[in-house]
Amino acid sequence: MNNSMSVCVVGLGSMGMGVALSCIKAGFKTYGVDLNPNARKKLIEAGAVKSEETAISFSKELDVVILLVVNAMQVKQVLFGDNGLAQHLKPNTIVMVSSTISARDAKEIDLNLQKYQLIMLDAPVSGGAIKAANGEMTIMASGAKSTFEKIKPVHDAIASHVYNIGTEIGLGSTVKIIHQLLAGVHIAAGAEAMALAARANIPLSIMYEVVTNAAGNSWMFENRMKHVVDGDYTPKSAVDIFVKDLGLVNDTAKSLKFPLPLASTALNMFTEASNAGHGKEDDSAVIKVFSGINLPAKKGE
């Protein structure tokens, strides 16, 4: 493996931290960028070369930049805002945009990167914090064949599945948006089922056990409804993330003049949960839109 490459992860949240740690384990010269000093400290202690609020001081060292910030606005701010990173990177640096964004935003970012002779890979990711930390993410990417070849050692370190969707920037983002349709609907449906169980006075721990050992299970049900059973809404992925992602799903469908009845309903549920003050809680807190039910409390409370 060519582990002499220098990789910088921008955005050290649950996914970004896992990606950065996987890069360190693989022997890459790894850098991190985040506003959170605790995240930066954790990465340095794990063996990162540097971890700062901005990558500008070490920009010329970098071969690959992986962006795992929240949305397209943050991607654009990091790259092209006041003293943005793009102008400081050396030509032919690969910029792997792994945030969930629209195809239109991906294409716009690519055009702006080209002005600086930078190479974009439109590469959203999925898998959650645990798979990110284990180097087992799924990457759905589009870009030039040569870009895939150059970045392959990094992909080998951070992912167990890499899908080449095509050469056109925007295709990777579209596949991720369609995936988020399923993820959001599965969480909303799981919450509806557990809310109905609560109304029927069925212990949610029993309902959870039955579903996770039967045909109605999904990865999202198994992962997120455990948070409901535990009464723990500490955010792994927040309600507001799905307000954003299902909004992108609806925007994509609108541009294609395509109806999405289930995704539209799920978006309304997440929006209602956010409006009720649960936006920063774990996305499983969408169950709180249902009234007239008693939910488990967190142990010790």
Q: 173 near 122, Cβ under 8 Å?
A: yes
Distance from chain centroid for Cα 223: 15
Decide if 299 is catalytic.
no
Strands (E), the chain: 6-10, 29-33, 50-52, 64-67, 94-97, 119-122, 125-126, 137-142, 159-166
Structural contact between residues 11 and 40, judged by C-beta atoms closer than 8 angstroms: no
d(CA 294, CA 291): 9
**Could you give the CA distance from residue 59 to residue 132 in angstroms, rounded to a whole number?**
24
Residue 96 sits at φ, ψ, to 5 deg, of -95, 105
6-10 and 64-67 strand pairing: parallel
Which of 29, 176, 236, 288 does the annotation list as catalytic?
Answer: 176
According to the 3-state scheme, what is the secondary structure of 118-158?
A: CEEEECCEECHHHHHHCCCEEEEEECCHHHHHHHHHHHHHH
Residue of 185, 250, 195, 245 lying closest to 219 (CA atoms): 185
Give the active site residues: 176
